């Protein structure tokens, strides 16, 4: 059985669990990391020397780094659907998955940390404002991309929607103002029709 290590309020774990839910895979998720601990223990470091979540063990195949896990699960269990067979469609999914990690994640992290995990009196609102401006610009790029397609890689839901979809939920639910992005909002509404998204991503921000 697939073993997933990581706490449910981690957006990176949510990506993996959403993928698991889409695939209907039998699994067991273990609470690891932050308040649960365990990720500094020898048994965990033997799986992932970085001590980070998520990490999976799929019948002896160990994978870490959230987007790598999403790709692995899609390729192994959903070739032709979540994992596009067409190289051009797969490249489109890959581009936006990498963009989520290299552009959106660095911009949203300090905003999320200040607004959600920092006591109000200790928040650095200058950092929040700078991050908000970056996020408005980035989600403007995504909004233009989604102007003529239903999903990230075209008209079908693929692995490319998962990392950005999880981050978009966070962006839309952070307690701050944001520029309107109607195409992003419509795409998010389509994602919210998926039961696995509702179960694993649409959670309180903590």
Reported as a single tens digit per residue, the pLDDT across 13-32 is 999 999 999 999 999 999 99
pTM for the model stands at 0.97
The domains located in the chain, with CATH, are 2-77 (3.40.30.10), 87-199 (1.20.1050.10)
Q: Mean pLDDT, to the nearest integer, of 164-172?
A: 98
Cα distance from N-terminal residue to C-terminal residue, the chain? 29
Where b means 16+ CB within 10 Å and e means fewer, 28-38 reads: ebbbbbeeeeb
Cis peptide before 54 (omega within 30 of 0): yes
Q: Mean pLDDT, to the nearest integer, of 40-58?
A: 98
- pLDDT reported for residue 90: 97
Triad 39, 64, 83: Cα angle to 5° = 150
Joined together, the tokens standing for residue 131 give: 């991050």
- pLDDT reported for residue 165: 98
Q: Predicted confidence band at 202 (pLDDT cuts at 50, 70, 90)?
A: very high
Reported as a single tens digit per residue, the pLDDT across 102-161 is 999 999 999 999 999 999 999 999 999 999 999 999 999 999 999 999 999 999 999 999
- pLDDT reported for residue 155: 96
Query: Helices H, strands E: what count in the chain?
Result: 9, 4
- Average pLDDT score over the chain: 98
**Angstrom distance (rounded) from CA 120 to CA 129:** 15
Q: Predicted confidence band at 76 (pLDDT cuts at 50, 70, 90)?
A: very high
**Angstrom distance (rounded) from CA 132 to CA 7:** 26
**Angstrom distance (rounded) from CA 72 to CA 102:** 19
């Amino acid at each position: 059985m697939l073993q997933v290590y990581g706490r449910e309020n981690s957006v990176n774990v949510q990506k993996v669990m959403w993928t698991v839910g889409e695939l209907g895979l039998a699994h067991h998720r273990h609470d690891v990391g932050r308040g649960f601990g365990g990720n500094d223990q020898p048994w965990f470091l033997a799986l992932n020397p970085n001590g980070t979540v998520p990490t999976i063990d799929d019948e002896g195949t160990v994978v870490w780094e959230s987007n790598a896990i999403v790709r692995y699960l899609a390729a192994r269990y959903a070739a032709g659907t979540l994992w596009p067979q067409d190289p051009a469609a797969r490249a489109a999914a890959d581009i936006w998955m990498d963009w989520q990690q290299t552009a959106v994640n660095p911009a949203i992290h300090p905003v999320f940390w200040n607004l959600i995990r920092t006591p109000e009196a200790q928040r650095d609102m200058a950092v929040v404002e700078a991050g908000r401006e970056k996020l408005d610009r980035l989600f403007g790029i995504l909004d233009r991309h989604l102007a003529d397609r239903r999903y990230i890689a075209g008209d079908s839901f693929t692995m490319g929607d998962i990392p950005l979809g999880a981050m978009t939920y966070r962006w839309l639910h952070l307690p701050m103002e944001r520029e309107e992005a109607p195409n992003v909002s419509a795409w998010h509404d389509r994602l919210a029709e998926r039961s696995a998204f509702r179960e694993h991503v649409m959670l309180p921000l903590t």
